[in-house]
Structure 1
Amino acid sequence: MTRPRLLVAHPGAELYGADRMLLEAATALATDFEVTVVLPGPGPLVAELRARGLPVELCPMPVLRNSALRPRGLLRLLADAVRGAPPALRLLRRHPAGVYVSTLTLPSWPLLARLAGRRSVTHVHEAERSAPRLLRRGMALCPVLSDRVVANSWFTLETLAEVAPRVGRRGRVVHNVVRGPALVPPPRPVLEGPLRLLYVGRLSPRKGPQVALAALQDLRRRGVDARLAVVGSVFPGYEWFEAELRTGAADAGLADRVEFLGFSADVWPHLAAADVVLVPSVGDESFGNTAVEAVLAARPVVVSAHSGLQEAVAGYAGVQAVPPGRPTAWADAVTRVTADWAGARAAALADAETARRRHAPERYTAELRAAVAPSGAGPVPAAVTGVPAVAPGARPFG
């Protein structure tokens, strides 16, 4: 039986969290559709998609970013929209099942889908309440124009509903799939030698690596023998921030205790080498894949107590949520972990088993297929997926 042809649009080709979610979504949708992924340019994601048998097309497309609020950024956005419209329409006409848009930063695709007489589904992964309201309204255009909306968390759906109430009420929530490591090395039985802290993620002010550095400095003042590994890189144009982090570490006398390792597509060796993982986001997070990866690796985790991060780690005994941006509170949390290392270690091992079930690819595939299906099938019952549709501690949108 011939599967209907579906276009899957994504705004980048790297291998960060959003890109990995696109890879999982395209793979899940390929169960029911003949999927073609369209990207704005080349990158490591292309090889990963093709390795799973998914064809890739390159097409210019306008991507909504903060820079669009400035004249030069707005002109570039409009230029990309004009340049990308003809090839996008040709692709849409070749894909009768329409387009799955992996983010709300791509408003042109639902609009062009309407012009081409095609269906569109937007999967929302963004939940930045602190963004300028004008930008948030602009980003809401994508789900407003779509035939169906999927969100990666209840927090994301609620944030969307603040600027697009009608869209928020008809959206569906499908929590992210997060694949764990093939082998989970248990945490060290005894903390001998330096305490190994780990930060994984983009090097940007809103992700909070500066908080991790400040917490390390606080721990050192307390006499704790600790080190910090920083895994991640900057967006182009944010090189100044990495330089600031390195200078700050040197000025604080931490140059020999902080290791900047750059971006790594494989985070599991870094997690296996860590004792405690820090997820110190200062800005809102729609979900929190990095925190879930740390849980899957059976490592005690400290996260910022806000937004989708709390939803992602709800119910895990080995996770502490502390106020964002307060280094002393973060140092206190790390101290609590080390003071009861046996208990923290046991909780982290138990959490890893729970997370493996909660974020299993089978659960995600079943729920996403139901959410995207043209028939409008309802939510997949827990009996099918083996896990509850809403994580403990999360509240359904209403």
Structure 2
Amino acid sequence: MSASSHRGRGSGGAGPARPPVLVVHPGAELYGADRVLLGSVAALVADFDVTVALPGPGPLTAELEALGARVVRCRMPVLRNGALRPAGLARLVADALRGLVPALRLIRRHGAAGVYVNTLTLPSWPLLARVAGRRSLCHVHEAEQSLPRLLRRGLALGPALAHRVVANSGFTRDVLAEVAPRTARRSTVVHNVVPGPPVLRPVRETLTGPLHLLYVGRLSPRKGPQVAVAALDELVRRGVDARLVLLGSVFTGYEWFEAELRTTIAAAGLDDRVDFVGFRSDVWPHLADADVVLVPSVGDESFGNTAVEAVLAARPLVVSDHSGLREATAGYAGVRAVDPARPEEWADAVQAVTGDWGATRAAALEDAAQAQRRHTSSRYRTELVAQVRALTRELRGEL
């Protein structure tokens, strides 16, 4: 275990000591769950002395320290797809054994007011919290309804062992309760805080020149960049002059998928119409350059932060018609929801959005204002801090 030299705002100086909370997160990148963690830590640091445990280095560390959190590194078992293979399972066991004592030390030292476990991929931490006599909260961002039931039960171990559960959507809560019914009575839905762009740039007034499409997210089969490419191909076949930006990168070990995607693009003659720009921590300039955003997830989405970011940027949006994406985009007039398995429907939706551009542009601006009200940091802070404070009150027998 190693600690950052940054001590956080609550570790010294004058003023009353704040209750110590240990936050645990499975990575140090800046994708969806990582950005939600930043919102959670920002909500907690005003009321608690926050220490964040990460399994390794990454750009998330500096962002957390800037918020005033103490950051430490601790080896920990993280449930990922690779754990289903022999080598992955061996590493999972090794991480669990070697990280056991350091984790217990962190919990005892920094988790007196609670252990906040971010995602259900860290099942050992709620168990270790119980061993150490601490109370824990599991914040669930995943809703993998399509996984085999036995595997889903394994993933539900963390929330099942936690004293409280926060779900990022009603869909997430319900999917969890299907395999762990007892979590329903101690689960609370807190919709994500999603910061908007620093400056709102409305979509351009007239569509002259190529139509600019944008995909934001991991380059993975379940996130559906292949659907975005197929939709582009269909639009070009219909005579639409369109371009597509793919904003994101692959997980290590999924390089084959990017290679396959590039091969598909080349075979369709779309090389000059698709731009791979890789991962960017600041998505707002790319959203500002887009005319229409595509969120074509093939697998279930627990909520859909990417979709909300597009709405906040006042961009017309086409999303997959399933799971938490419905919940995230409910009530927005500028959003179209279609079947991810039918590229022709994606092309239809894009053409419908652009067919009456003036009305679409006005609806997108109204949606952005509504999204700002829904996803304010003040609302998120009030709801999340209440859940963490409840851990201490339960320990004292006040609830």
TM-score by length of 2: 0.93
Q: Of 65, 71, 76, which residue of structure 1 is paired with 2:86?
A: 71
Residue equivalent to 1:180: 196
Unaligned stretches of 5+ residues in structure 2? 1-15, 394-399
Q: Matched residues in 2 for 1:299 and 1:252: separation?
A: 27
RMSD: 1.1
Cα contact 2:247–2:278 (8 A) shared by 1: yes
Shift of 1:180: 0.3
Q: Matched residues in 2 for 1:132 and 1:59: separation?
A: 30
Q: Which runs of 4+ in 1 moved over 6 A?
A: none
Q: Structure 1 residues 156, 183: closer, same or farther in 2, change over 3 A?
A: same
Counterparts of 1:89-168 in structure 2 under 5 Å? 89-95=104-110, 96-168=112-184
Secondary structure in 1 matching 2:272: coil
Residue equivalent to 1:380: none
Shift of 1:376: 8.3
Q: Matched residues in 2 for 1:97 and 1:375: separation?
A: 7
Cα contact 1:203–1:234 (8 A) shared by 2: yes
Cα contact 2:75–2:99 (8 A) shared by 1: yes
1:152-191 CA distance string (max 9 Å, x none): 0000000000100111232000000000012111111110
1:81 aligns with 2:130: no
Shift of 1:93: 1.0
1:325-357 CA distance string (max 9 Å, x none): 210000000010111111111000100000011
1:119-170 CA distance string (max 9 Å, x none): 1100000001111222211111101111111100000000000100111232
Unaligned stretches of 5+ residues in structure 1? 378-398
Cα contact 1:161–1:169 (8 A) shared by 2: no
Shift of 1:375: 6.2
Residue equivalent to 2:250: 234
Residue equivalent to 1:41: 56
1:17-40 CA distance string (max 9 Å, x none): 110111111121112210000000
Cα contact 1:280–1:325 (8 A) shared by 2: no
1:203 aligns with 2:219: yes
Q: Of 334, 340, 353, which residue of structure 2 is paired with 1:324?
A: 340
Residue equivalent to 2:397: none
Q: Of 336, 340, 349, which residue of structure 1 is paired with 2:352?
A: 336
1:220 aligns with 2:236: yes
Cα contact 1:208–1:325 (8 A) shared by 2: no
Q: Matched residues in 1 for 2:78 and 2:198: separation?
A: 35
Residue equivalent to 1:191: 207
1:6 aligns with 2:21: yes
Secondary structure in 2 matching 1:223: coil
Q: What letter is aligned with 2:32?
A: G
TM-score by length of 1: 0.93
Residue equivalent to 1:25: 40
Secondary structure in 1 matching 2:222: helix
Q: What letter is aligned with 1:43?
A: G
1:282 aligns with 2:321: no
Aligned residues: 377
1:62 aligns with 2:49: no
1:180-234 CA distance string (max 9 Å, x none): 0121111111100000000000000000000000000000010001000110000
